[in-house]
Amino acid sequence: MIRVCWHGAASLTLVVKEVEILVDPYFSSKEDYGAWYTENVNKPEWEFYLANFAPDLVHITHGHFDHFDLEAVKRLEREKHPLFMGSAEVGATLTEVCGVPADRIHVLAPGQQISLLGLNFRAIEGVHWNTGEEGTRIAAFFKTNPAKYYGAMPCGGPMLGLIIDSGEEKVYISGDTELEGIPDEKVDIACLNIGAPVYDPKTKGEGSSVVNGQEATLALNERLQPRVAIPLHHDFALFLREPDIQYVRDHVRARFLELVPNQWYEVG
C-alpha cells in the first residue's frame, strides 16, 4: 500500500515501503521573495507540515521557482535534514545556495537508475520549456541581479521525473513535461502534472509547458496504463485558463483519484 498527500501545484508526498518522499516542495510566501512571486494556493502551513511530515528524501525535478523553492528547501534542511535528489545543476544549487552537504545529495542524470533507502529510482527526462541549456542560460542571467530575481529560476539543467520501483509496484512522477517526454511504460500509479497554457514572455502569447487534458488522457490510456492516475499542478495560479480535467475524468480508463490538498490517501 502506498500513501500519498498532495500539497498543491506539483508538490507531493509519497510513502513507499515506509520511505517518505517529498517531490518539489513549493511552500513559501510572497514575503519570502518579492512582488514577482506567485504563491502555491494550496500550500500547507509550515506549522502543520513540520508537525505531520518528516521526509526521508526530497526530489527536485527542475530549477523553476514553483518546483525548486529555495526558501522552502532551506527550511526543510534546517528542520528535517533529509536526503536530496536531482540533476547535477540542482545538486550544485542545493550546496551553494541552500547549504545542503554534498554527502546528502544524490545526483541523477537522465535515464540513470539508483538504489536508495530500499527503493529503485530512475530519472525520466521530460520535455519542458526553459530547461536544459536554455534554462542554464536564463538562470545565469537571473543570477546577475539577485536583488531582483533571487529564487525566480534557481538553476537550469534537465527536467527529471521519476519512476519509483518498490519491487512490488511502480510509481511514475511526471514533473513538468510535454507529451513527448512521457515514457511508453506501464506503471501501477501515475502522478501526472496536467495544465493549460501560460504566458510566454518571448512570444508575448500563449506557451505550453505541460500536457493538457486530452494529452494526459492519451498518455494514461496508451502509454502508462496505470491502475490509479493522480492529477497534479492543475491548480497553478499562472495558467491562463482552467485545465480540462473534466476531459480526463470522462475518458481515462484508470481510477482517477483527485486529491484534496494536504490530506492523506491510501492507494493500492
Cα–Cα distance for residue pair 83/77, rounded to 1 Å: 9
Strands 189-193 and 228-232: parallel
Residue 141 CA: distances (Å) to CA of 97, 134, 149, 156: 16, 11, 9, 11
d(CA 207, CA 262): 29
3-state SS string over 28-70? Answer: CCHHHCCCCCCCCCCCCCHHHHHHHCCCCEEECCCCCCCCCCH
pLDDT at position 204 over 90 = no
What kind of fold does domain 2-267 have according to CATH? Metallo-beta-lactamase; Chain A (3.60.15)
CA 80-83-85 angle, 5° bins: 135
**Amino acid at position 186, single letter:** K
Q: Which amino acid is at 61?
A: T
> Over 90: is that where the pLDDT of 19 sits?
yes
Query: CA-based angle 30:34:40, to the nearest 5?
Result: 30
Residue 203 confidence (pLDDT) above 90: no
Percent of the chain whose pLDDT exceeds 90: 96
The answer, yes or no, to whether residue 262 has pLDDT greater than 90, is: yes
| pLDDT for position 32 | 97
CA distances to 58, 59, 160 from 101, rounded to whole Å, are 14, 15, 21
Q: Is the pLDDT of residue 84 over 90?
A: yes
H/E element, 163: strand 160-165
Predicted pLDDT at 201: 85
Give me the pLDDT at residue 268, please.
Answer: 78
- DSSP label at residue 211: B
- Pick the closest to residue 9 from 37, 35, 33 (CA basis): 37
Taking the CA atoms of residue 62, residue 65, residue 68 and residue 70 in that order, the dihedral angle to the nearest 10 degrees is: 150
Write down the mean pLDDT value for the chain: 98
Sequence spans of domains, the chain: 2-267
- CB under 8 Å to 249, separation ≥6 — which residues? 256
Distances (CA, A) of 233 to 35, 112, 189, 210: 22, 25, 16, 9
pLDDT score of 202: 82
- Cα separation, 124 vs 185, in Å, equals 11
Residues 31-51 have a mean pLDDT of 97
Q: How confident is the model at residue 171 (pLDDT cuts 50, 70, 90)?
A: very high
pLDDT at 14: 99
Using one digit for the tens of pLDDT, what is the confidence trace for 113-160? 999 999 999 999 999 999 999 999 999 999 999 999 999 999 999 999
